[in-house]
Amino acid sequence: MAILMKHEKLAVRRLDDFEGNLTFLDLHTDLDVLLVATSREIYAVERSGTSSEIVKILVDSVGISPKKNNLANKIQFPWPVRIVEAAAGHDFLIFRDTTGNLFSMGTGTRGELGVGLIRRVDEPVHIEQLVGIRIKKVACGGWHTVALTEGGDAYTWGWNRYGQLGKDKGSTEVYPVLIDPEEEKFGEENILDVACTEHNTQIVIKTGHAPFVLGTNPTPPINEFHLD
């Protein structure tokens, strides 16, 4: 658990610390910070102008890392980008930049990275299959991802055990695949918003209407809807 506080302070606690002890870290930066966490790790994305870098804050097997002067915890993107959104599943992360490009890192044994069947990558890799498609939102379930385009289409990838990627999709999709509105009976309207729970994908077609659900899972949404 991590809480971003005022004056570049970060409060971090391991979930298995039943005494509830908080460790306070000084980010030592005046940069814009975005927090994102998997089930086992916590990261801070530090953003300055047109560039961003990832700082590893907590790793389950290691514990809380002191941020100060710890260059080993800094992770670079393939080229200078400004990250505007970050989402995470159980053991992977997806980042979106200002131009709508997506980057992924973490475990990819279920295709959740969207770049092929890869055991693990510890630096962000560009999801090249979406080049030329401007993504405006990304959401992650436990082992799958949905990405919403500016044109109102949606792509899914990852694990499909519960049908969370949509109809006529493989048990695992290692690259982004387009959701077909006709197959899912959405109609011809553009998709307005997307979200995920552990094992499903939720698609909003009309504001104020219940979302279409791909897959099944009774748990609350991991990514809440925020319609403009």
pLDDT tens-place string over residues 132-168? 999 999 999 999 999 999 999 999 999 999 999 988 8
The strand pairing partners of 155, in sequence order, are 147, 178
Nearest to 130 by CA among 157, 163, 158: 157
Nearest to 54 by CA among 95, 15, 100, 113: 95
Confidence of residue 62 (pLDDT cuts 50, 70, 90): very low
Confidence of residue 61 (pLDDT cuts 50, 70, 90): very low
pLDDT tens-place string over residues 103-142? 999 999 999 999 998 999 999 999 999 999 999 999 999 9
Task: List the single range of 16-25, 33-42, 130-139, 202-211 with lowest mean pLDDT.
Answer: 16-25
pLDDT given at position 57? 81
Per the CB < 8 A criterion, the answer to whether 193 and 150 are in contact is no
Sequence ranges of the domains in the chain:
117-228
| Gyration radius (Cα) of the chain, Å | 18
- Order the strands of the 118-126 sheet from edge to edge: 83-88, 92-97, 102-108, 118-126
Per the CB < 8 A criterion, the answer to whether 63 and 13 are in contact is no
pLDDT given at position 184? 78
Q: Is the pLDDT of residue 72 over 80?
A: no
Average predicted confidence (pLDDT) for the chain: 82
Q: Give the DSSP letter of residue 194.
A: E
Of all residues in the chain, the percent with pLDDT exceeding 90 is: 53
